[in-house]
Amino acid sequence: MLFGKSGTSDHQKNKQKILTIVLCGAIRLLHPMAPFITEELFAILKDKLPNLSVSESKDPYTKEAASAISREACAVAPFPQVICKQDIDLNIEKTFDAVEQVIYTIRNIRGEMKLTPGVEVDVYIVGADTHLIQDNESMIKSLVRIKSINYSTKEPAVDFASTSVLGDIKIIIPLPKDMLSQEKKRLEKEEEKLSKQIEKLRVQLKNPQFVERAPEQLVQKQRDQLHQIEKEIQEVQGKMAKMP
């Protein structure tokens, strides 16, 4: 995120600046409780940024951090204060929340598909209004392993994919081609296992001695279990039918 290839050099510098401002504030907040370690960290921060100057042209957050770092020690640096409380941009809050939800959803789909962290995936974003995602695509790619993000208003024709709905948009991730054969084998084994369970239950329920002599609750339980497994095997077979 800070030193990778994603994003422009200006984006990376901005991320580094934001983290520096946050670190400077955290050190000063922690100083009354841990004075020795925070003085050490403050001195290191000063050494790393020897040429800071407080300028009226800088934004208030940068100006406040630069003013603090220019002090001789953390003990005499000003305690962090709320800055520009009246100027909070609600659109930024909305954008950050939207990007956070997209990243969480993509990670959740990857987890359901049991993809390892190193596997890159193609992501399809379907919806009429996707500008927030497009404007922050570099941030999303820096936090999730993605090969490409594709935008459209109509759902694409993909062979085998997992889907999640997020508000007015739909996020679709196809299973990587190199994992299709592995998934197909898994589904075949699952189908075989379910078929055996169905056959066993059907034989049992066709046995008049079992149906007549067993408690009604047990017979009904077996019927319900058969119905559930039949639904499961239909779902598995449906997935297999969509595979190339």
Highest mean pLDDT among 43-52, 84-93, 192-201, 235-244: 192-201
- Bridge pairing between strands 161-166 and 146-152: unpaired
In a domain, 4, yes or no: no
Digit-coded pLDDT (tens) for 38-68: 999 999 999 988 877 767 657 888 888 988 9
Q: What is the pLDDT of residue 185?
A: 84
Rounded mean pLDDT of 119-136?
88
> To the nearest whole number, what is the mean pLDDT of the chain?
85
Q: Which residue range forms the structural domain that includes residue 231?
A: 180-242
In a domain, 106, yes or no: yes
| pLDDT higher than 90, residue 238 | no
Q: What is the pLDDT of residue 4?
A: 53
How much of the chain exceeds pLDDT 90, in percent? 37
> Both ends of the chain: CA-CA distance in Å?
36
Q: What is the pLDDT of residue 38?
A: 95
- Bridge pairing between strands 121-126 and 146-152: parallel
Which is higher by pLDDT, 225 or 164?
Answer: 225
Confidence of residue 6 (pLDDT cuts 50, 70, 90): low
Rounded mean pLDDT of 94-107?
90
In a domain, 23, yes or no: yes
Rounded mean pLDDT of 147-166?
84
How many domains, in total, are found in the chain?
Answer: 3
Task: Judge if 57 and 119 occupy the same domain.
Answer: no
**SS3 state at 46:** helix
What CATH number did the domain enclosing 156 receive? Answer: 3.30.2320
| pLDDT higher than 70, residue 236 | yes
Task: Judge if 47 and 70 occupy the same domain.
Answer: yes
Q: What is the pLDDT of residue 15?
A: 82
Structure tokens given for 163: 């889907």
In a domain, 122, yes or no: yes
Q: What is the pLDDT of residue 57?
A: 59
145 and 121 in contact (C-beta within 8 Å)?
A: yes
Domain boundary among 149, 175, 201: 175
Q: What is the DSSP string of 176-238?
A: PGGGHHHHHHHHHHHHHHHHHHHHHHHHHHH-HHHHHHS-HHHHHHHHHHHHHHHHHHHHHHH
Digit-coded pLDDT (tens) for 172-219: 988 877 777 777 888 889 899 999 999 999 999 999 999 899 999 999
In a domain, 238, yes or no: yes
pTM: 0.59
Distance of CA 24 to the CA centre of its chain: 28
Domain boundary among 55, 87, 119: 87
| pLDDT higher than 80, residue 18 | yes
